Homo-oligomer: A and B are copies of this chain.
Amino acid sequence: MIKIGIIGAGRIAHVHARSVLHHPNTELAAVMEPSLSSATAFTQAYGGRPTESIDDLLDEVDAVIVCSPTAYHPEHIVAAARRGRPVLCEKPVAADLGHVDALEAELAGLDATVMIGFNRRFDPSFARLHHLVEAGVIGDVEQVTIISRDPAPPPMDYIPTSGGIFKDMTIHDFDMARHFLGDIVSVVAIGQNLDPALEQTGDFDGAIVTLVNSEGRTATITNSRHCAAGYDQRLEVFGSNGTLNADNVRPTTVRVSTADSTDAQDPYLDFFLSRYEDAYRRELDEFLLALAEGRTPDPTIEDGRRALEIAEAADRSARTGTIISL
């Protein structure tokens, strides 16, 4: 059994703990979290023991999943890297590009293994779609269209700490765009403030972003902090020989037909924990498989850095009304 340590005991830590619990070859060995009572409750649910320092945690584990607040990601990655522990770190890799630079400088020469948790790459539908693109089913990719809308805004007091919509929410879409287009050379973003409840946060509650790669291929991202029909997560890739779509996921296949309407279906799975539960499990699978095979797992810190770079450019574009070249 591979012994896993989790740093942090918040919402996303629970997701990873469940993946560890269900995985046939892993066990949760240790959890580090400032609040001892949270840590204890966490280990009672998933196993392992609470630790008070990162060194204690690293003593007991083979690999680490970093679920701490973003500001602590670099410190926790470096600590694990120094002890030779592979790391799966939640997105975004750091709070801003400056901190990623500093992190990369610290990791230089350490031979660290760090995977960044862009879970959507591992969603069964998006992964299948990517595989079909790689297999050449639609020829060359020309236009990627991503629709990504949350079912409801996060708690109001979370928003000021979120880093803004582009680093917090769109960052997943930026990684997906790069997954299909490679490096991006140009970014233009339109921010929206349509939800009066979110107006005073200073953050956008919707956005339209267009990315272009060096060959002129594009990705268009449509975001909203709310969506009446549920968690709206769709992907279309248009290529020279065809089009691929991945649709929303529903809890059942039931369709209702009456005199008013026909084939009405369930609302979408409405939270990222249910929508992407499989994706988180497959992300852990890939992390462990890469370790077992001695490969560098994807996505890397560099992928995390590029997505963050686009997020910062998008924010600048939306606030200045200009197209930003990278």
Contact = CB atoms under 8 A, between A and B. Distances in A.
Interface of A: 22, 124-125, 128-129, 132, 137-140, 142-143, 145, 147, 149, 186, 188, 190, 192-194, 206, 208, 210, 212, 215-218, 220, 222, 224, 226-230, 232, 238-268, 321-323
A184 to B, nearest CB: 12
A128 to B, nearest CB: 5
Contacts of A261: 256, 261, 264-267
A194 B215 CA distance: 8
A149 B238 contact: yes
Contacts of A243: 227-229, 232, 256-258
Contacts of A125: 252-254
B245 A254 contact: yes
A254 B132 contact: yes
A69 B201 CA distance: 52
A24 to B, nearest CB: 9
Nearest to A151: B259
A194 to B, nearest CB: 5
B253 A260 contact: no
A161 B240 CA distance: 25
A194 B255 CA distance: 24
Contacts of A226: 240
Contact of A259 (B186, B228, B232, B248): B228
17 contacts: A22-B22, A125-B253, A128-B252, A128-B254, A132-B256, A143-B208, A145-B222, A190-B212, A228-B243, A228-B257, A229-B258, A229-B259, A229-B262, A242-B258, A245-B253, A246-B252, A248-B262
B257 A229 contact: yes
B208 A192 contact: no
Contacts of A227: 238, 243
B262 A268 contact: yes
Contact of A224 (B238, B241, B244): B238
Contacts of A229: 242-243, 257-259, 262
A190 B144 CA distance: 14
Contacts of A255: 244-247
Most interface-central of A124, A206, A220, A251 (chain B CB within 10 A): A220
